[in-house]
Structure 1
Amino acid sequence: MSSEKFKAAIKKLAQVDNQTDRAVVISVDKNELTCVVQTVADDLELEGIKLKPVFNDGDLSKMGLILFPAVGSYVIIGQVDGDNTDMIIISCSEIESVGLDTATALKLLISGDGKLNLNTVLTTFNDGKNGGIPLLKPLTDIINKLQKKVNALSDAFDTHVHLGVSTGGGVSGIPKTKAPARIDPLIITDDIENKRIVQ
């Protein structure tokens, strides 16, 4: 650190009247819920800037509502209880993602690219009137079985010949081929429904 930056840092530590600063985000640590910023006024690099003021007795997994600023975005940082060694993000110009964690252990993360990550026991959309969303793998397996059976029936029908039948008054004989067995058991909703998500 140059002597000028060192003087600026000492001056900042001594400030009591200015409790907020504008800064640019250099990096974000989503595990520690902190970021590194560079102040706009004097180009000081500050580490350990909190993304939220309360850490629930040190348990970072219970993060409440938190905004993760985008790297390169502008933020306003402020002191906690006038302590210039304990600073938090007050607002940011651009959000990279949003996290939410409630007292019931619901975890929700919405990223800037529109992806939604939700970890919960039951998710309901549209009052749950349409039932659960099907599980893709079991549904695909069932459709594949049906397709194979239909293909086998189609092949059997196309090649089916009655022995002993001739033009005119012939006699029917024993079929050379037999139709495939029926599909059992019948499909039920529980086989393909994901009960954790209803719409």
Structure 2
Amino acid sequence: MADLRNIIRQLAQPDGEAIPLVCVVDSVDKDTRTIDCTPLNEGAPLLGVNLQANQGSKFGVCFFPAVGSFVVVGFVADGSAGVVLGTDEIDSAEIIIGNYSAVIDRDGCRFDAGNISAHITTDAVVFNGGELGGLPVVGDLAKRLNIIEKDINTLKTVFASWVPVAQDGGAALSTAATSWAESQLSLTKAADYENTKVKH
């Protein structure tokens, strides 16, 4: 009777059932979105294992495992094709939806939406290529503007308190403006007010 049960169980199982394998990543091909890996059970190396459902795809979500990391490989099409089901360490991750993309790797994070971008590294944040330079440091810029505004207000006070004297050829105005004219402003330098860690 036990033999009959075992025979029925064997007949009920699908042919060629493949179980997932834990493997070590040998190489990664980002262009084809595949890996080569070696099973921990010392089986034959698996070549061209898909990282996505469609290896020819250039959109969707794709995790690129680090060489030497562990992955779990499942099988489709009666075991003739493998696909990575999970990984423990990744070198990069890509999410691409239409014109929108996000790439995260050891160099930083890059977000692109059409012609708008934000690239983040440990050194800086760069928006839209950073061609306009660093964002202004508002506190320092406000101090500089206050110096210029005070200088203009001093000149206004000179003119407001000046009393024209007939036939003096402007000597009274010259005398009134002497102290203002002697204190020259230094030229503004962009580098003094630029935050080079945030560029736009």
TM-score by length of 1: 0.51
Superposition pairs of residues 39-188 of structure 1, within 5 angstroms: 39-42=39-42, 44-55=44-55, 58=56, 60-61=57-58, 63-84=59-80, 86-102=81-97, 104-111=98-105, 113=106, 115-121=108-114, 137=133, 139-140=135-136, 147=144, 150=147, 172-174=172-174, 175=177, 177=181
CA distance in 2, matches of 1:89, 1:21: 10
For 1:95 and 1:139, how far apart are their aligned partners in 2? Answer: 33
Q: Any conservation in 1 of the 2:17–2:79 contact (CA below 8 Å)?
A: no
> 1:150 Cα deviation (Å)?
4.5
Alpha carbon RMSD of aligned pairs, Å?
4.7
The 8 Å contact of residues 74 and 94 in structure 1, kept in 2 or not, is answered as: yes
Q: Is the 8 A contact 1:19 1:82 kept in 2?
A: no
Q: How far has the Cα of 1:107 moved from its partner?
A: 0.9
Alpha-carbon distance, 1:120 to partner: 0.8
Task: Work out the percentage of aligned pairs sharing the same amino acid.
Answer: 20
Shift of 1:147: 4.5
State the one-letter code of the partner of 1:116. C
Q: Which one-letter code corresponds to 1:49 in the other structure? A: V
- Aligned equivalent of 1:128: none
Higher Cα radius of gyration: 2
Name the one with the larger helix percent: 2
Counterpart of 2:102 in structure 1: which amino acid?
L
Distance 2:22 2:77 in 1: 18
Q: State the partner residue of 1:35.
A: 35
Aligned length: 142
Secondary structure of the residue aligned to 2:133 is helix
CA distance in 1 between counterparts of 2:53 and 2:78 reads: 13
Structure 1 residues 16 and 79, CA gap change in structure 2 (3 angstroms) = same
Q: Is the 8 A contact 1:108 1:119 kept in 2?
A: yes
Q: Is the 8 A contact 2:18 2:75 kept in 1?
A: no
Q: What's the offset of the Cα at 1:77?
A: 1.1
Pair 141,20 (structure 1): closer, same or farther in 2 beyond 3 Å: closer
In 2: Cα distance, 1:65 partner to 1:139 partner: 33
Over residues 52-76 of structure 1, what are the superposed CA-to-partner deviations in whole Å (9 max), with x where a residue is unaligned?
Answer: 1224xx3x32x21122222221111
